[in-house]
Every structure is written in C-alpha cells, then in structure tokens.
Amino acid sequence: MTVIPSLSGGNTAWVLIATALVMFMTVPALGLFYGGLVRKKNVLSVLMQCFITLALVSVIWVSIGYSLAFSDGELIPGVLGNFKWAFFRGITPDRLSPYYVSDSAGRVPHLAFAMFQCMFAVITPALIVGAFAERMKFSSFLVFTCLWEILIYSPLAHMVWSANGWLYKLGVLDFAGGTVVHINAGFAALAAALVIGRRNNLKALPPHNLPYTLIGAAMLWFGWFGFNAGSALAADGIAASALMSTNVAAAAAGLVWPILDKLVNKRPTILGAATGAVVGLVAITPAAGYVNAGGALAIGAISSAICFVMVTFVKERFGYDDALDAFGCHGIGGLVGALLTGVFADPAVWKAFGGTYAGALYGNQRQFLLQLLGSGMSIAIAFFGTFALLKIIDVIMGLRVDAKDEAMGLDISQHHERAYTVID
C-alpha cells in the first residue's frame, strides 16, 4: 500500500522547537563554555566568533550551502550537490521535506528541515574556534569560516546525509552528526592548531571564569536534546529514544571524568565534570537514535575515559596547542561515538519503525567496518582539507595577530572593547 505524504503538525512543531534549541547551543551556550575557558582579555573575541558564525553561516546556508549539501542534483556524484535550491529557490512553504524517517508518521515542511540543518551548519565551524582561540585575526577567521563551510562542511554533509551521498548509500550511520559535525570540526581543529602554532608565552593558567563554563555546559546539555532528538524529524518513539540516550550518555561521561580527576589529580573538578558531560554528548550524537540505554551508558563512559587521556596526557606529550580541547573532546569523542555506533546499534530500537540497524554486538560486524570507513573519510577530508585551506589563507592574508596584539588580548586588538571594566 502506497502512503501519500502528508504534513504532520506535531512533527513540524517539534522540529521548529529543536531548531531553536540547536541555535541556542552556539549562542549563548558554546560562547559561554569557551568564553569561560580563555583569559579574560580574550573572552569577547570568543563570544564574537560564535555570534558572528551564526550570522555568517546562516547567509551562506540559504545562499548555496543547503543546496550543495542536500540537493538531489549533483555537481560531483555522491560527493556534492548542485545549485538547484540556491537561495531556497523552489522551497515554498507548502513543500514537504524530501528527507524524513517515515511517511506514515507525516512529514515536516521543507523549510523546517532546511533551517534545522542550518543550525548544524552553524555550530560545526564554531566548534573549531576552540583550537585557535586567543591568536587568530578576526578577518582571517571570517574568510576561513566562509570557505570551510562551502568546501569542507557541505560536501561531507552531502556524502553522509544526502540520499545521493556515497557514504549514506553504503550504510554508514550518523544519526545527528558524529562524522559531519564532531569528527569534522575536531580534526579541522587539530589542523588549525598545527598550522597556526602555539600561543606566545603560553602558561598553565586556570580558566578565567568557571561559572561561565559550567553554565555553558548546562546550556549545551539542554540544547543537545534538540540536536539529537530533533534529528528523528518526528515527535515519536525514535525521538524519545534519542533524548533518553543523550541524557544517559552525558550523565555517565559527566561522572567518569571527575572520578578520573580524583584518581589522577587528587581532586574532582567542576571543569572535569562539565568537560566530561560535553564529551558524552558528543559521543552519543551519531548513535543517539540507534542504541538502547545500556549502549548509551557504555558510549558515555568509554568516550569520557578516552578523551580524558587525550586531554590530560596526549596533548601534553605532543605539545600541540589545542587551546580549548576542540580536537581532544569533539574530534576524539566524535570518533569514539561513530565507531561504537557500529558496535552498540540495537535492532530492537527500530523494529517497530521498519528499520534494521544492528551493530557488531548484535551480529552485524559489517556495520563496524562501515563506521570505520565513514570516520576515516571524515578525518581525511576535515584534516587535510582544513590544513590546505589555512595554508592558503596564511599566504594571502596571514592567520595570526602579531605578538603585540596577542599580548594585549584580542578583545582590545581586534574589537576595541573590554569584557570587564573598573569604574572608580
């Protein structure tokens, strides 16, 4: 029996709310999380980078980004869409989204889906800010963000999420952005840290405002319900399952990190609890709609332990200046989550919805290999593409502020403003 596509008011309302939640994750949540971690002379620069990314990428997305990522016509088969939907041409309010979980559940408007995806496109380059915080010229940041969105993000989104994408057709699973968002941003962050280099006179200084960071982490946790559960594109059992697994993974990871803090550093810390929770959110993202509660617990705990080692020991050993641990948390957390999706995906989650997603734990070893392939492609595109892009920008206009401006702080040198003033 053929099901005639129809609009679902309930699903539409949920996706609209989820869109607002994901927007909230970039500004103010990520801005506060990152802003609290830098020195006080650079807090405005981080907030500005997050805020302006929302504006800049929104314009790029409507202009060409969405069409390149999701159009059914292609400039490069399986890799990149074309300009069919440039400036949302033809995406009228009455059109239903071509992307959906099940026609029987009812679809959402195409505009709702496009704007939901816009917020993913916004937060991904904003995450990279954590790698080059306190030392990148604002003008170079703008050029980089614009080119990265078009040349790196849109092709990878097409490959993994578009119905024509070659990784999608192979069966690589990424429910809400483990490869497209977190591996992509995290390994781009590593490339940025290596190209831009270490900060001058770098000292082991504590975060300037831990309350900002904790508030930002709590806001991210809140917004992540829209990020993951919204990716069901329906107000249904899959959305509820994704919401549950999101909370469970964050909770497990948020407990494991301070426990490791206590074992290694003798004290559990607020920063550790906040960082651990964010790592759990990152890692569960690709798996959110596919795993049960036990799988979510395992993914949260395992990712927290691995990222703790990366941030505490590996970064120190190799000496790269990933300022706010964008690579250590998002790159590695996203990689762990993407791979474990291929282990813990439980076919029972989708049984009633017609899906047959199963991981190695349930007899499908091929899924783990597919996740390995998808993760490897994401790493290669993100790292080498970003490395080359930054090198070109550096030659043309330079990436770093000069030593004097860096010492002064980017708030003053780039924006002529101060976050904190003393009034006599």
pLDDT tens-digit profile of 84-106?
999 999 999 999 999 886 655 68
pLDDT tens-digit profile of 312-324?
999 999 999 999 9
pLDDT tens-digit profile of 145-197?
999 999 999 999 999 999 999 999 999 999 999 999 999 999 999 999 999 99
Residue scoring higher pLDDT (253 or 202)? 253
pLDDT tens-digit profile of 330-340?
999 999 999 99
Using CA atoms, how far apart are residues 374 and 367, in angstroms rounded to an integer?
Answer: 10
Q: Is the pLDDT of residue 54 over 90?
A: yes
Q: Is the pLDDT of residue 283 over 60?
A: yes
Using CA atoms, how far apart are residues 154 and 143, in angstroms rounded to an integer?
Answer: 16
Using CA atoms, how far apart are residues 92 and 217, in angstroms rounded to an integer?
Answer: 37
On average, the pLDDT of the chain sits at 96
Given this model, what pLDDT does residue 423 score? Answer: 58
Given this model, what pLDDT does residue 243 score? Answer: 98
- State the pLDDT confidence band at 203, using cuts at 50, 70 and 90: confident
Using CA atoms, how far apart are residues 274 and 271, in angstroms rounded to an integer?
Answer: 5
Given this model, what pLDDT does residue 5 score? Answer: 82
Mean pLDDT of 215-236: 97
Domains parsed from the chain with CATH numbers: 9-90+105-415 (1.10.3430.10)
Mean pLDDT of 26-53: 98
Q: Is the pLDDT of residue 2 over 60?
A: no
Given this model, what pLDDT does residue 352 score? Answer: 85
CA distances from 48 to 19, 30, 118 (A): 21, 11, 19
Q: Is the pLDDT of residue 204 over 80?
A: no
Using CA atoms, how far apart are residues 285 and 119, in angstroms rounded to an integer?
Answer: 15
* Residues 6+ away with beta carbon under 8 Å from 48: 138, 414, 415
Given this model, what pLDDT does residue 106 score? Answer: 84
Name the residue with tokens 């816009």.
118
Mean pLDDT of 262-277: 97
The pTM of this model reads 0.97
Give the helix/strand (H/E) hosting 185: helix 184-196
* Burial (0-12, 13-18, 19+ Cβ within 10 Å), 48: buried
Name the residue with tokens 């590593």.
190
